[in-house]
Structure 1
Amino acid sequence: MFKPSLTLIALAVSAPSLANDAPKDMERIIVSGSRVIESIDEVPASITVISRKQIEDHLKVNPELQSLLAQMVPGLAPDTGSSSNTGQSLRGRAPLVMIDGVPQSTPLRNGSLGVKTIDPSALARIEVIKGATSVYGNGASGGIINYITKQATAHDTHQGQVSLSSRFSAVKLEESTGARISGAINGKVENFDYLVTASYEENGVQRDAEGDILGLQYGLSDAETQNYFTKLGYDFDQEKRLQFSYNYFSSQQKTDLADVPGDINEGVKTYAIHVPEALQKRGKPQGPDGNENITLKYTDSNIFANSEMTLDVYTQDIENVFFFSPNLANPDEGYEGGQSIIRSEKRGARATFNTNVDFDGVEATFIYGIDALKDTTSQPLVDGRVWVPEMEMDSLAGFLQTKWVINDDIIVKAGVRRESIDLSVDDYETLKLCRSETQCSVPLQVKGDTIDYDATTYNIAIKYNWSDSFSPFFNYSQGSDIADIGRLLRAATVDDIGLIQTEASIIDNYEVGFSSLFDQVRLEVAAYRSTSELGTTNSFNEATGVYEPVRAPQEIWGYEGLVDYRISKTLNVVATYSYVEGKNTEADVYLGSRQISPPKATANVNWKPSDTLSLTVSYLYVGDRKRFSPNADGDYIGDQGPISSYNIVNISGQYQFADNWNAFMGVENLFNSDYYPARAQSYTYGGYNIKGLGTTATLGVTYSF
C-alpha cells in the first residue's frame, strides 16, 4: 500500500476500483450496503469502497467530496467543479447519498447538493453500491453513496491529529490563497468511547487557466465551510451498545464578486469580477446553511439465537440556499428575480435483524426489518413566495434479504421490499415566473390531495468464486423512485394534483461482470442495463420559458473496467474506463447530460521509494459526447450541448520528516489545461458555462499525537 499522497484529482484516481485498491486484501474488505457487514467477495454486484487512507490523501489537497467520488468511482459522472452535483449521475440515474445509512439527499425536491454534507475528515470510508436498489427505499434509482463515519480507535487512552494547509492558484496568486484547519480526538475510558472532529476552511478566489475568477453559480470562491461531528458510545457488555452521533455542516459563499455572464452557445465563458456593493450578487449566501443530523443507535449482537438487532432513530434538518436568479422574476409584482431554499425535515426509525443459520454445506443469512420515515420538504423563495408547496411524505416499509453461501464458493442473494408511501400536498397556486416581458408562465390554482404509492421490489443475484483468476456474477435488482415530485408540482399544467403524472417509477437493473486476480494484476469488468417505464427528464417550453418534466420510458446501458498492475513493492499502476449511454425509448432520442455523462478514463502511477516519501502522478480523460443538433437559431438548448474531450494531469507527494509530522503538497491541473468541465459544456442554462480550475497548488502539514 502506498503512503498518503496528495494530488487533488490523483487520489481520486489512485484506486478507482470497482471494489478495493489492494488485491491481496480483498477478502478482508467489508461493506454495509446490504445493511449488514459482509465480505466483499460475497457481494454479487459492482462496489467501490474508498478507504480512509484514500480519503485522507485527497483531503490533504482538496476537501471536496464531489471531486473525490468523481475520480474514484467508475460510472459516476465527472466532477462539476462546483458545490452542486447536478448532472453527476451514477450510471445515468440519481444516487441516494447517506451518512451511516441516514439519507442526505432530498428526493422529493432534489437540489443536487446531497454529496456535500459532511467533511471528509470525519469519514472512515465511503461505500458506493451501483445500480437501482430497494434496500434503502425511495431515491436510490442509481445506487447508494454511503459515508461511513469514524469510530474511536484509542483504547484506555486518547489520540488526536491536527492538520493545517493552504491552497492557492499557481496561475495568478492574487486573492487566491485559502486556509484550512481540521482536528480530531478520540479515546476510550472503560465502557465509554468518544470521537470529535472539527474542520474550518476559508477559500480564496478560484481562478481558471487564464487567471480569471470562476463564475459564482454554485461557486467555491470565497466559500466558508465548517463541520462539527461527534460520536459517543457506551458498551453495556460485549453484545449491547448504545451510540449517539451528531453532525453539523455549513458551507456558504460570502463574496463581494459578481458574474460577467457569458454564453456557451457563443463559446463565451462566465467569470467573476469585483463590483460595487449595489451590483454584487444579491440575496443570502448560497450553500448549506447549518444542516444538522442526529442519530441514536442501539445494537444487540445476540438478541436471540444467532441473531443481531440494530434499532436506530434519526432526525435531520436541511436548509440549502440557492443563488439569486433573474428567471424567478415577476415584474407585475415587483420581483426582478428570486432566490429559493430547499427545506427538508426527516424523522425516521429503523429496526434491522440479521439471523445466521448453518445448514448442511450451506450458510444462510436472513436480513429483515421495518423502516419508517416522515419527510417534510418544500422550496419557498427568500422573498416569501412559494415555489414548491410543502410536501409531507409518510413511508412504511418491510423488507427481507437473504444470502446463501453454498460450498464456500457459490453465493446466491434474493430479497423483497414492500413499501407504502402517503404523500400529502395542500391546495396551492403555481408561480408566475418571467424570463422576459413576453415569456412568462401562467399561474394555476391546483387542488391538493393525498397520493398513495405501494411498491414491491425484488432482487436476485449469484456469484461464483470459481478461482482467483475468474469470479463471475449476475445481478438483477429493482428500485422504486417517486422522482422529483417538487419539480412536477411547480411546473403543474393541470388543476388537480391527482392529475399530475406523479406515479412511482420502478427501475429494473441488470448487471453481469467478473473479477480476476493474478500474481500482480487484478482485472474487474462489469456491464449493465437499466430500464424504467417512467423517467425524469425535462423539455424546454419556449412559450413559457419553463423546463417541464417529461416522464417517458427510459433505457440506460453501459460498461466499466479496471486494471490494477502492481509492478513492484514500490510501484503500482491503476487504470479504469467507464461508458454509459441512454435513450428515451418512446421518442427514440438520446437522454441529455443531466443523466448521461461522457466516457471517462483514469490512470495513475503511485511510487513509494521509501517509508517516508511517496509520489503520485495521475491522469483524467473525459471523452466526447455529441448526440444532439442545434435548433433553428443554431443554438443548443437544455442539457444537450456538445461535449468535447479534455485531459487533466496532477502530481502530489508527501514526506514524513519526523515521527509525528508529515508535510504534503499537491498540484491540480499540472499543465494548466484550459477547458470547460463536461457539465459546463452541455448545460445551456444561464451561468453554468464556467471554465475548469487552472493550476492550483496545496501545501500543508499534519501533526499526530
Structure 2
Amino acid sequence: MKLSPLAVALTSLAAPVAFANESTPVAPVNVGIERLIISGSRIPEQLDEVPSSVTLIDSDTLLKDMTVSAELQNLLAFRVPGMSPSTGTSSNAGQTLRGRKALVLIDGVPQSTPLRNGSLDIRTLDINAIERVEVIKGATSVYGNGAAGGIINYITKKPSADGKMHGLLGVSSRFSAVKFEDSAGGRLEAALDGNINDFGYVISASRDEYGLQRDAEGDVPGAIYGLSETTSDNLFSKFRYDFDDEQSLQLTYNYFAAAQDTDLVDVTGSVNSGTKTYAIRRPAGSSAKGEPQGPDGNQNLVLKYEHLALFEHTALSLDAYSQTIDNVFFYSQDLSNPSEGFDGGQSIILSKKQGARANFSSGFELGSTALDLIYGVDYLEDVSSQPLVDGRVWVPEMDMQNLAFYLQTKWVIADDWVLKGGVRRDDMSVAVDDYQTLKLCNSAKICSNPLQVKGGTMEFDATTYNLGLRYNGIEGFSPFISFSQGSDVSDLGLLLRSATVNDITKIQTQASLIDNYEAGFSGDWQALHYAAAIYLSQSELGTRTVLNPATGIYEPVRAPQEIRGYELELAYRADDALLVGGNYSYVEGKDTDKDIYLDGQAITPPKLTLFMDWDPSEALSLSLNWLYVGDRERFAPVNGKYSGSQGPVSSYDVLNLAASYKLSDWQFSLGVENLLNEDYYSARSQAFTFAGYNTKGLGTTVNLGVKWSF
C-alpha cells in the first residue's frame, strides 16, 4: 500500500500512532456507563468481559463528529475498523462490516429489511437521539436473521437521573466552500428530558434541509441516492415509569422520513470512460418522473417491561414492538417495458414487522466463579415486498414467521478468565403466493422473459453456536479467542425476482450458515491503548451477482465464500489536553468454489484513519480526523470494460476539522469536511459500474452551528 504525501505528513504528525482495531473504543473512556455494553448478550456487561471485537462510540465522540456531519454513514465509516468507507449518499449499499451485511438495530429492535435488502437501514435515526453506538463484529445470531457481518445497535438517550428538566436547542447551516450558490442548508434540533417523580421522559426532534451538495470541482453529485435538496425529519420519544426500584414500563416511538424533492437530473458518466456523473437543473418544460426518493415515514413503536428481581437471582426483560418501513427508490429506466407503455419505473420496499421477546438473566456465585445465564424466546413476523409505484410487482410479498429459543452462558473464573458459550435455535418459515417475474428491458431488443412461478412455504431451521474465551490475568494485555455462527436468509427477494425456474422450491433459497473465527488482544500501558484482531469468516452459500448478457439483468449466484482480515488500533494520551490515535483494517474475500475474488459489493480496500483531539481549555475543543482508503484492483476488464462491481479502486484521503467553543450555556461549532478539497471518487463509486453511481465525493463543506442547553 503506497501512502499519499498527505498520508506521510499526518503519519509523521501523529508519530506515536500506529494503526488500530477495536476490542475497546478507539479512545479510552471513563469508567462507568461508557464501559458497559448490552448488544453482545442482551444484558449489561463490561467491555473486558467480551471475548470478541467491539466498537463503542460514546456520547462525546458522537457530539464531536456531529460538528462535521450528522450523517451516520460518515461517522461509522471513520470510527469502526472493518466497516467500509462511506458512500457519500443516502444509501449504504456496498458499505459492509467485515465484508458482510450488518444488522442495524435501535435499542435492539431490527431496522434492516433482510428479506429484501434496500441498504437504507443505517440512516434511520437522527444522531441527536443517540446516546452511544455499539458495534459487535463477526457473524452472530443473538438478534436473529441478517447479522452476517455483525450488528450496529443505536442506544438511544435516557431521561436524566438528577430529577431536573434538561433541554437543548440547536441551529446550524451547512454549505459548500467551493461554490456557495444554492448550497446552503439548515438544521434545527431540539431535545427535552427529565423526571417527574417516578415518570421519566425524552423527546427529541430534528429537521435537516440540504442545499445543493458540491464536489471539489463545484458540480452537484448525481441524484441517485443523492442528498442534494433532501429534507429529513425525525421525531423520537421515550416515556418511562418506575413502579419501584425493581419494576419499570417504557414506551418508545421513533418516526423518520426523508425525501429528495428536486428538479435535478443526471448527466450520466461511466467508470469505463472515466467521466463522472453529475446533476443539473431539469430543462424548462420537462417534468420530474416518479415520487421523491427516500424513507416515506418509517415508524417504530416499542413497549418494554423490566423486572430486575422476578425471582431470586433472576431478572426479566419483556418487550413487544411494531415497525413499518416504506422506502421509495429512485426512478430508473432499467425498470422499463416499452411493450406495456412503461419507459421506466420506481420501486418501493415495504416491510411490516411485529415481534415480541422475553429475555431472562440469572446470576449465581459458585465459589470463585460467577455464572450468568441469559435465556429467552424471540418471535418475529416480517411481511416484506418490493412493488413498483406504477402498480407492477417486482418482488412478491414474503410472509416470514420466526420463532427462536436461545441460551447464553458467561463464566467469570477467579476474576481472570471469562468463558462465554451459547446456542440459538431458529424455526423460520417464509410463505410466498404464486407470482410472475417482471419483464424488464434494458433496450427495445434486450428484455428479460417473464416467468410464472409457483409459490409455497419455505422452511428454514438452524441451530447456531458461539464460544469465546478472554484472559484478564496479565496487566496491560488481555487476549481473547472466539467462534461464532450466524444463520442468514437475507435478500431472499433478490432471488425471487430473478427466478429462472417455475417453482420456488427449485430456487436455491437455502439459508447461509456463517462461521466466524477470531483471535485478538487489547491492553493499556501507561497512557497507551492498543488492540488487534484477526478473523476468518466462512459460508457454504453466499450471494453475488453476475451479468446475464442475454437479458441485461444482474442475477444472483450462490457459492461458497471465505472472507479474512485483520484490524489494528492504537491511541495515546500525551497529556490531559491531547489525545492521538488511529486504526487500520484490511479485508479480502473469495468465492472459493471458483477461486474468484469477491467484488466491491462486499469487499473494500484497506482503510487507515488517524485522529488528533486537542482540548487546550475547558471551553475550546479542536479535532482533526483523517481517512485514507487504499487501492484494490482484483479484476481485469472484459473487452476493455469493467462490469458489475468489479471496477478498480484507486487510493484517496480526506481530512476533516471539528472545533467548538463553550460560553456558559452556549456552544458554538465549526466543522469542515474535506478540509483540503480532495478531488476523489468514493470506493463504491469506483467499484460500481452501474449507471449513475460514479459520483465524486464532497468538496470542502463547512458546517456552522450554535446550541443552547439548559
For the aligned pair, the TM-score class normalised by the smaller chain equals over 0.9
- 1:374 maps to 2:375: no
Instruction: Pick the aligned partner of 1:32 from 31, 38, 60.
Output: 38
- 1:106 maps to 2:113: yes
Structure 1 pair 23–57 and aligned structure 2 pair: CA distance change class (3 A): closer
Is the CA contact (8 Å cut-off) linking 2:28 and 2:529 kept in structure 1? yes
Structure 1 residue aligned with 2:372: 365
Structure 1 pair 25–53 and aligned structure 2 pair: CA distance change class (3 A): closer
Structure 2 residue aligned with 1:153: 160
Q: Deviations over 1:168-226 (max 9, x none)?
A: 00000000000001010011111111110000111000000000011111000000000
C-alpha separation in 2, matches of 1:290 and 1:16: 36
SS at match of 1:339: strand
C-alpha separation in 1, matches of 2:607 and 2:485: 26
Tell me which amino acid in the other structure corresponds to 2:116. R
C-alpha separation in 1, matches of 2:523 and 2:83: 23
Instruction: Pick the aligned partner of 1:635 from 641, 650, 673.
Output: 641
Structure 1 pair 668–272 and aligned structure 2 pair: CA distance change class (3 A): same
Counterparts in 2 of 1:421-440, with a 5 A limit?
A: 421-440=428-447
Tell me which amino acid in the other structure corresponds to 1:666. G
- 1:662 maps to 2:661: no
C-alpha separation in 1, matches of 2:280 and 2:561: 42
Instruction: Pick the aligned partner of 1:215 from 219, 222, 226.
Output: 222
SS at match of 1:685: coil
Deviation at 1:466, TM superposition (A): 2.4
Tell me which amino acid in the other structure corresponds to 1:425. V
Structure 2 residue aligned with 1:6: none
C-alpha separation in 1, matches of 2:278 and 2:208: 23
Deviation at 1:468, TM superposition (A): 3.0
SS at match of 2:73: helix
Deviation at 1:437, TM superposition (A): 1.7
- 1:229 maps to 2:259: no
SS at match of 2:684: helix
- 1:524 maps to 2:522: no
Tell me which amino acid in the other structure corresponds to 2:243. F
- 1:48 maps to 2:58: no
Counterparts in 2 of 1:296-335, with a 5 A limit?
A: 296-335=303-342
Counterparts in 2 of 1:64-103, with a 5 A limit?
A: 64-103=71-110
Is the CA contact (8 Å cut-off) linking 1:668 and 1:697 kept in structure 2? yes
5+ unaligned residues in a row in structure 1: which ranges?
1-12
Structure 2 residue aligned with 1:63: 70
SS at match of 2:530: strand
Is the CA contact (8 Å cut-off) linking 2:137 and 2:150 kept in structure 1? yes
Instruction: Pick the aligned partner of 1:694 from 696, 699, 702.
Output: 699
Structure 1 residue aligned with 2:504: 497
Structure 2 residue aligned with 1:679: 684
Instruction: Pick the aligned partner of 1:607 from 598, 609, 614.
Output: 614
Q: Deviations over 1:271-325 (max 9, x none)?
A: 0111236545421100100000000000000000111100000000000000000
Structure 1 pair 184–14 and aligned structure 2 pair: CA distance change class (3 A): farther
Deviation at 1:406, TM superposition (A): 0.2
Q: Deviations over 1:315-356 (max 9, x none)?
A: 000000000000000000000000000000000000000000
- 1:414 maps to 2:421: yes
Q: Deviations over 1:229-276 (max 9, x none)?
A: 000010000000000000000011011111111111101001011123
Counterparts in 2 of 1:503-522, with a 5 A limit?
A: 503-522=510-529
Q: Deviations over 1:390-445 (max 9, x none)?
A: 00000000000000000001000000000000100000000000001221100000
Deviation at 1:154, TM superposition (A): 4.9
Deviation at 1:62, TM superposition (A): 1.1
C-alpha separation in 2, matches of 1:79 and 1:15: 18
Is the CA contact (8 Å cut-off) linking 1:155 and 1:189 kept in structure 2? no
C-alpha separation in 1, matches of 2:31 and 2:164: 31
Moved more, 115-124 or 21-30: 21-30
Structure 2 residue aligned with 1:4: none
Is the CA contact (8 Å cut-off) linking 1:27 and 1:41 kept in structure 2? no
TM-score using structure 2 length:
0.96
Structure 1 residue aligned with 2:407: 400
SS at match of 1:266: coil
Instruction: Pick the aligned partner of 1:650 from 638, 656, 666.
Output: 656
Structure 2 residue aligned with 1:182: 189
Deviation at 1:24, TM superposition (A): 6.3
Is the CA contact (8 Å cut-off) linking 1:240 and 1:301 kept in structure 2? yes
C-alpha separation in 1, matches of 2:427 and 2:241: 35
C-alpha separation in 2, matches of 1:14 and 1:644: 20
C-alpha separation in 2, matches of 1:302 and 1:349: 21
SS at match of 2:331: coil
SS at match of 1:487: helix
- 1:23 maps to 2:9: no
Is the CA contact (8 Å cut-off) linking 1:514 and 1:526 kept in structure 2? yes
Is the CA contact (8 Å cut-off) linking 1:292 and 1:318 kept in structure 2? yes
Number of aligned residues? 691
C-alpha separation in 2, matches of 1:349 and 1:667: 43
Instruction: Pick the aligned partner of 2:577 from 570, 573, 578.
Output: 570
Deviation at 1:25, TM superposition (A): 3.4
Instruction: Pick the aligned partner of 2:456 from 449, 452, 455.
Output: 449
Structure 2 residue aligned with 1:556: 563
Tell me which amino acid in the other structure corresponds to 2:599. G
Deviation at 1:58, TM superposition (A): 1.9
Structure 1 residue aligned with 2:5: none
- 1:285 maps to 2:284: no
Is the CA contact (8 Å cut-off) linking 1:154 and 1:186 kept in structure 2? no
C-alpha separation in 1, matches of 2:675 and 2:514: 41
C-alpha separation in 1, matches of 2:219 and 2:477: 51
Is the CA contact (8 Å cut-off) linking 2:655 and 2:674 kept in structure 1? yes
Tell me which amino acid in the other structure corresponds to 1:648. V
SS at match of 2:64: helix
CA RMSD in angstroms comes to 1.3
SS at match of 2:272: helix
Q: Which runs of 4+ in 1 moved over 6 A?
A: 13-16
Q: Deviations over 1:103-136 (max 9, x none)?
A: 0000000000010100000001000000000111
Structure 2 residue aligned with 1:266: 273
Tell me which amino acid in the other structure corresponds to 1:447. K
Structure 1 pair 552–438 and aligned structure 2 pair: CA distance change class (3 A): same
C-alpha separation in 1, matches of 2:55 and 2:72: 15
SS at match of 1:324: strand
Instruction: Pick the aligned partner of 1:198 from 205, 213, 220.
Output: 205
Deviation at 1:59, TM superposition (A): 2.0
Is the CA contact (8 Å cut-off) linking 1:258 and 1:279 kept in structure 2? no
Is the CA contact (8 Å cut-off) linking 1:23 and 1:517 kept in structure 2? no
- 1:384 maps to 2:352: no
Tell me which amino acid in the other structure corresponds to 2:37. V
Is the CA contact (8 Å cut-off) linking 1:19 and 1:49 kept in structure 2? yes
C-alpha separation in 2, matches of 1:315 and 1:15: 38
Structure 2 residue aligned with 1:590: 597
C-alpha separation in 2, matches of 1:31 and 1:280: 50
Q: Deviations over 1:73-102 (max 9, x none)?
A: 000000000000000000000000000000
C-alpha separation in 2, matches of 1:498 and 1:195: 48
